[in-house]
Amino acid sequence: MSILPAQMTVQTPICEVCHVYTQYGDNVIHENINLKIAHGDIVALIGQSGSGKTVLLRHIIGLTTPTRGEVLLFGQNLHTMERMQQRRLMNRFGMLFQQGALFSALSVFDNIALPLRELKQFDEVTIHKLVMHKLALVELEPQHGELLPAQLSGGMVKRVALARALALEPELLVLDEPTSGLDPDRSEKFVALIKQIKHALGLTVLFVTHDPVTVAALADCIAVLADKHIIATCSLLELKTMDHPFINHFFQGYSAQLMEQK
């Protein structure tokens, strides 16, 4: 193993958004968005409802293409690649959708096993072991594997979806509203779980949220999307010193809550 490639992998950002513009009809959503996510970061993307956070997330994982500009994942553009390479690159990140997006016709076990089976490298005994490991990782019991998605509670859907996202040992975990629909207690536990898994597996995490508590508990770095631009990319402490109506408003309720606790 030579030293040069190793250095390159450290230096190449996991994800790079360069001069992205998005426009639907006359409706401009993003104007010159730039964002870099380095290896091992936990980045929160916050912004008002309708500010285009989910759209940006969908650009990053290659579901949509920006009107102008480029999105690089692991230093490569998903849309200009060959199909086989594209598939390989897509195995390097896992996505947790807001509603879970579990396959409703498949059991929990089959949902988690699907990406592993698609890889066509493992026999059923190995797959069973790996699925059991993923279930244990998200703190679910083996017998939960037989349930269908419709039989799960909201919190369990999120856990199963997380287990599915982690099935192929990705480097980047992308989460859309990881704590929406969970009560404060559950959401706190889910955040702790993500943190723990992040450290155990050495992940890079990018997530979108509306919840200041989740941001404060999870994020190292916060990107604020407002007025079609990213107005700040910094830590929580730096963010609190900034004066912008959205930022003030976002943390107002949370600060009041913290003051009460003190």
Partner 1 sequence: MAVASFRIDTDDQGRRHVRLFGQWSLRAQENNFAKLKKSLSPFFSDPSIHWDLQSVEQLDTAGATMLWIGWGGKLDGRMVLNSEQIATFDMLSQLALPPPVKKSRDWLAPVADWGNLVLAFFDHVRDIIQLIGLLLLEIVYLLRHPRDFPWREFCANIYKSGVTALPVSALLGFMIGVAMSYLMSKQVRTFGADIFIVNILGLSIMRELGPILMAVLIAGRSGSAMTAQIGVMRVTEEIDALATMGISKILRVILPKILGLTFVAPFLVLWTSGWALAGGALSANIQLDINYRFFFDYLPSVVQPVNLTIGLVKGLLFGSVMALVACHFGLRIKPNTESLSINTTNSVVTAITSVILINAWFAIATRGIGI
Which of 38, 81, 101, 130 is in the footprint of partner 1 by CB under 8 A? 130
Q: 13: helix, coil or strand? A: coil
Tell me the window of 26-34, 63-71, 127-135, 223-231 that interacts with partner 1 (CB under 8 A). Answer: 127-135
The answer to whether 142 contacts partner 1 (rule: CB under 8 A) is yes
Q: 21: helix, coil or strand? A: strand
The answer to whether 132 contacts partner 1 (rule: CB under 8 A) is yes
The answer to whether 103 contacts partner 1 (rule: CB under 8 A) is yes
The answer to whether 168 contacts partner 1 (rule: CB under 8 A) is yes
- Side chain identity at 143, as an amino acid letter? Q
Q: Of 5 and 245, which CB lies nearer to partner 1 in the complex structure?
A: 5
Q: Residue 66 CB, nearest distance to partner 1 (Å)?
A: 26
Which of 118, 139, 169, 238 is in the footprint of partner 1 by CB under 8 A? 169
Q: Helices (DSSP H) in the chain: which residue ranges?
A: 3-11, 53-60, 83-90, 108-119, 124-137, 154-165, 184-201, 212-218, 236-241, 245-261
Q: Of 52 and 149, which CB lies nearer to partner 1 in the complex structure?
A: 149
The answer to whether 125 contacts partner 1 (rule: CB under 8 A) is yes
Strands 42-47 and 204-208: parallel
Which of 126, 153, 196, 235 is in the footprint of partner 1 by CB under 8 A? 126
Distance CA 170, CA 90 (A): 9
The answer to whether 136 contacts partner 1 (rule: CB under 8 A) is yes
Q: Are 19 and 34 in contact (CB under 8 A)?
A: yes
Tell me the window of 38-46, 84-92, 237-245, 248-256 that interacts with partner 1 (CB under 8 A). Answer: 84-92
**Number of residues near partner 1 (by CB under 8 A):** 30
Residue 229 phi/psi, 5-degree rounding, is: -120, 165
CB-based burial label for 106 (10 Å; 0-12, 13-18, 19+): middle
Tell me the window of 55-63, 130-138, 205-213, 232-240 that interacts with partner 1 (CB under 8 A). Answer: 130-138
Residues in the chain: 262
Q: Residue 105 CB, nearest distance to partner 1 (Å)?
A: 4
Q: Of 72 and 130, which CB lies nearer to partner 1 in the complex structure?
A: 130
Distance CA 156, CA 163 (A): 10
Distance CA 40, CA 43 (A): 9
Closest among 210, 240, 235 to 222, alpha carbons compared: 235
The answer to whether 76 contacts partner 1 (rule: CB under 8 A) is no
Q: Of 171 and 188, which CB lies nearer to partner 1 in the complex structure?
A: 171
Binding footprint of partner 1 on the chain (CB under 8 A)? 1, 5-6, 9, 88, 91-92, 103-105, 119-122, 124-126, 128-130, 132-133, 136, 142, 148-150, 168-169, 171
